[in-house]
A and B are shown apart, each in its own frame.
Chain A
Amino acid sequence: MSELEQQLQTLRVEAETALAGCADLAALTQLKAKYIGTHGAVTAVLKALGRLPKEDKPRVGKLANEVKNTLATAFAARQEELESHISHLQSQMDTTLPGRRHRLGRLHPLTQIFEETVRIFRRMGFAVEDGPEIEDEWHCFDALNTPSDHPARDIQDTLYVDLPPHAKYGRYLLRTHTSPVQIRTMLRHQPPVRIIAPGRVFRRDNPDATHSPTFHQIEGLYVDRNVSVADLKGTVEFFFKQLLSPDTQVRFRPHFFPYTEPSFEIDLSTPHFRARGKEWIEIAGCGMVDPHVFKAVGYPDDAYTGWAFGFGIERLAMVQYGITDIRLFTENDVRFLEQF
């Protein structure tokens, strides 16, 4: 027996012994590399065959291949054994342990109502519009048929910003409603105008459970040649049924706003509200755009009619979810935010 044959036999015994004691896959991979890998010992013997005398080559070569194959089979068998052992262990895993999650964050509940509102109005061909939070008196009041001597200005107690007044548009203020977006849009575009304007508004209110000096509104405006109260009712009903539930009942009540004539308040009744013991909930204001407003934006006299509506998001969220303190919306307790 040549030296190489001797070496092969030793390697085989050595490898088989090591294999028997190998208990994990990582060690197995190392062993495999050590004996039959590219740089392995058995592989090295096979590479050395070329240096043997011609008559020894077939015999030793046969043996070397035999050893390599035997070991390869043994390694494969051992690998399977180990793997099935692991999968057996895994099958005994405590599946009641909590899952490993990548928790999603939540949108603020007011954002969710904004986004849902925009989605619904886009289905009806409305575009989204925006305007500044610092407005001037003309855009916020005068153009909306609320001149400075009008008692309606008392209803909205206004916060004025410490800036020099605009030469033409008057003092700067925090907008008390999203309605100036109507004015800005109509100044830029001729009808048809169909817009929805979500935004933040401000009032000089002391914060308490039901008042916040900062809150949010959505404004809608539709102007065209012959827009009517019937169109207004159709749109408002469609919207609230989509947003709240198909069972929502909508009631219009005559009211007054300087910028619409006739004006209405919108009351809603849903099974959800009724379950909370409230028959009708006053939720929004609306009406047909006052001719003075069309005049302010320079639309020709009598050419167009239109409607506008607006509602407060906080109030809607509060009645919908049964939230009794408006301050929760700006406190940002994650236990609150995670519920929506």
Chain B
Amino acid sequence: MWRWLEVDDNAISRARSQLSSAGLTHEVFDAQEVAADLAERTTLSESLDEMVTASELVPGSALPAVRPPG
């Protein structure tokens, strides 16, 4: 469901380092694929920027809804 994005050597190197730090050293983990996947998901997540401003990151600025009215 994700299209691969072009990633540069720095992103691949970062992904390799992150995989290693998380203990994910098995050969099935391909740093280039992981870097592309992270770039795609970061892009998706950035679509939240227009909705979640810095001030709204402060807890309490939006009311939790999962409570009975009143």
A and B held together in a complex: no
- Spell out A's residues near B (CB within 8 Å): none
